[in-house]
Amino acid sequence: MEKVGLGLRFSFMEDVLNGSQKPDWFEIAPENWMSRGGKMFDILEKIRADIPIVCHGLSLSIGSPDDLDFIFLKELKQFLDYFEIDVYSEHLSFSSLDNGYLYDLFPVPFTEDRVKHISKKIKIVQDVLERKLILENISYYFKFDGEMEEVDFINQVLEEGNCELLLDINNVYVNSMNHNYDPVKFIKNINKEKVAYYHIAGHEKFDDLLIDTHGAQVNSQVFNLLEIVLEEIGEKPTLLERDNNIPPYEQLFEEYEKLKEFVENAKVY
């Protein structure tokens, strides 16, 4: 992965194919493509011929008490192999329970018991996919009393699961505001050796709560935190995520270029 990537969305795929504005790399959700054919799949193949792609999954549900879905994992591996995609990330969360989909990403209780359970599942996923699993810190809106600190939980999972971290800087900011902790301390305490790449996105404020909507431009507080991350952790590929209120591609690409200029001017590359 090179410097700065962009989340690829259906709404602007034809603009990418027909235009000249191309990011260093794209990130896609494999679940949106795994059983798909037709025109959009053809466009994806053409884009892939030109631009590197990484996968960011939605339904692995690594934190669920349920067993892993081996049919899904097998299909996923076929997909990754077909497009020769080496980088596969997911969320440190659960999205299924009792074998039913919950249609959202829920936080895992930050306990020793969950660390052990998740670490075992990570090893199996890595064996089946023959790739390193990269897990993202998610935004969460409730926390139970008596749990360990989020950063300690993440570090233990990274260590025991022998996997890597997708550090979502917007999620660190949003969580720090909603749960009243210092985001810089979080950044300083995370296991830097394990960070594979960064996500950056916009959020919105509803009453006193910040919600990780991916529906707005990245604001100055999150850019400030990115600067601290680049100083503390250093050079890593960075992805701009936008899932809602997606502007026309030309406008989104301006945001992408602004981010690229920002990381280049941070003088850490």
Q: Which residues bind Fe ion (CB under 5 A)?
A: 168, 199
> Closest approach of Cβ 201 to Fe ion, in Å?
6
- The residue with its CB nearest to Fe ion is 199
> Closest approach of Cβ 199 to Fe ion, in Å?
3
> Closest approach of Cβ 185 to Fe ion, in Å?
21
Distance of CA 226 to the CA centre of its chain: 15
Within the chain, residue ranges assigned H as helices are: 13-18, 38-50, 70-82, 112-129, 150-161, 169-178, 183-189, 220-232, 249-265
Is the CB of residue 198 less than 8 Å from the CB of residue 230?
A: no
10 Cβ contact partners less than 8 Å away, ≥ 6 residues apart? 32, 40
Is the CB of residue 47 less than 8 Å from the CB of residue 78?
A: no
Is the CB of residue 215 less than 8 Å from the CB of residue 243?
A: yes
DSSP conformation letters of 83-118: TT---EEEESSEEEETTEEEEEEEPPP--HHHHHHH
Name the residue nearer to Fe ion (CB basis): 90 or 168: 168
> Closest approach of Cβ 7 to Fe ion, in Å?
9
Name the residue nearer to Fe ion (CB basis): 116 or 216: 216
> Closest approach of Cβ 42 to Fe ion, in Å?
28
CB atoms inside a 10 Å sphere around CB 182: 10
Name the residue nearer to Fe ion (CB basis): 111 or 221: 221
Name the residue nearer to Fe ion (CB basis): 31 or 168: 168
Name the residue nearer to Fe ion (CB basis): 9 or 199: 199
> Closest approach of Cβ 98 to Fe ion, in Å?
27
- Cα Rg, the chain, nearest whole Å: 18
The closest of 48, 40, 42, 41 to 22, measured between CA atoms, is: 48
Name the residue nearer to Fe ion (CB basis): 194 or 199: 199
